[in-house]
Structure 1
């Protein structure tokens, strides 16, 4: 059944989601502060700022599904609260509540804390170590209390075209990783993340939360060593783990059990394909 969808905050990830939804026969509106000058791929672009409710007065009527996937203006708590809490409230207030059937909120595995070698799934109690995870968890809780069905997708670290920061850090010699104790890293190719969003929107009876990650959590130093070998760079030295990012192994079992298949189940193969 064709839906009228709004992608709120349509950046890099949204630009991969929108054409998939158009190809599936849906009517797709995409909201961002500065839309592209030319219409593309059947996407209907809208200009608006999620932090300014007056700019959302002209959102289309009849939206049945909302995908909320904005990018904060900065890496400070105020910017996160403005976009993930205030912005979410603003867009829901601007839409016709009686017609809105589902909200898919793109969150982050940053809502989970330190778990060492243990596996983490959707039933693991969140304990975010940083402000980003705390704000996202607050937004999840607020959305769950609203009178609309919501689904949360907690994404691992994304990589892909235009998301090669790790490669550049290793190439520049600016990366290090602990070897003992192991620090586990979790990744997901951005194209798999986009496909997962489309998949969850199509489910007749989705669960309330899903983890978006590939099949292969890796010790951080092994991931770095693999990428270094691909680009002919020195193996990054031993050093501290990233701050405010707990070690954990993310389980994608619930997402896979829902019928989703990954194109890139192992980030080592994904990075190799990108660097060919």
Structure 2
């Protein structure tokens, strides 16, 4: 296997994958919209590339493995908008293409369970754009497409601790509301396994084993920090931005059986309690560790 990866939109999840691959000798080129981020990307052992702004077409033809993390807009998938013809031409020679989507494509199931065979009935604009983007990628003949539908992502630097410490966290209560989550390191492990065993056309949910109400996560984070648990606020009384309110438009429990059976994936953090504990331990570790 040629150890090269082109990473479009080299963000939180892609950086976690790079932490696994770079020490094993992989060459990774990661795109970013911001030139200011290039130094940090380079320090991680990844070759930074500002895009849009640089022609990436030659790399599409050259790299056998490509990860798409860039999200769609109302104008569609930005990578396909720029390079659809190049992907179509390179598809027969490409080995693996991973597309990071969202479990938001399933819409609201009122707390019920969904798997990869559930109908795609998104309840939000973000979810609808992801359904359209998935279909657009799947419409390229011979593309070795792997779709990963991610639950709510958390991990070092992204989680409830900062808001709890700042006293701005809120426990918003909506009857029956549950979310599935996934630690970023478990996303990286899944992508690593898929790269090792490509299965073009595969669709995988990535989530932990314990869907839970959001207020439980906030409460547990406060307990771990030894600070008062934020008071409960009924959803109807919460002053939420439209973006925040949209997260409460969907309630579902997501199954991850398919990727466990197909690739032997097992989440290192099967629930938010183990994930938060690991994050807190990492925060407390000396800087030279």
| Aligned CA distance change for structure 1 residues 195 and 236 (closer, same or farther; 3 Å) | farther
What aligned pairs does 1:113-262 form with structure 2 within 5 A after superposition? Answer: 113-147=107-141, 148-164=143-159, 166-171=160-165, 172-178=167-173, 181-205=175-199, 208-231=202-225, 232-240=227-235, 243-245=245-247, 246-258=250-262, 259-262=264-267
State the partner residue of 2:77: 85
TM-score (norm 1): 0.84
Structure with the higher helix share, 1 or 2: 2
> Which consecutive segments of 4 or more residues in structure 1 shift more than 4 A?
none
Does residue 285 of structure 2 align to residue 271 of structure 1?
no
Deviations 1:202-222 (A, max 9, x none): 223355211110111112232
Whether the 8 Å CA contact 1:228–1:236 is kept in 2: the answer is no
> Contact conserved, 2:146 with 2:199, CA < 8 A, in 1?
no
Preserved contact between residue 149 and residue 206 of structure 2 (Cα < 8 Å): yes
**Paired residues for 1:38-49 under 5 Å:** 39-40=42-43, 42-49=45-52
* Residue aligned with 2:55, SS: helix
1:163 Cα shift?
Answer: 0.5
- Correspondence for 1:75: none
> In 2, are the aligned partners of 1:68 and 1:105 still within 8 Å (CA)?
yes
From the superposition, tell whether residues 108 and 201 of structure 1 become closer, same or farther in structure 2 (CA, over 3 Å): same
Partner of residue 37, structure 1: 39
Cα separation, 2, equivalents of 1:55 and 1:211: 32
Contact 1:68 1:88 in 2 (8 A): no
Which stretch shows the higher mean deviation, 259-268 or 18-27? 18-27
Assess, with a 3 A threshold, how the Cα gap between structure 1 residues 60 and 185 changes in structure 2: closer, same or farther: closer
Superposition TM-score, scaled by structure 2 size? 0.81
Provide structure 1 residue ranges, at least 5 long, that are not aligned to the other structure.
Answer: 73-78
Q: CA RMSD in A?
A: 2.5
For residues 44 and 173 of structure 1, what CA distance do their matches in structure 2 show? 37
Question: Any idea what SS the aligned residue of 1:122 has?
Answer: coil
Shift in CA distance, 236/182, structure 1 to aligned 2, threshold 3 Å: farther
- Cα distance between partner residues in 2 of 1:174 and 1:44: 37
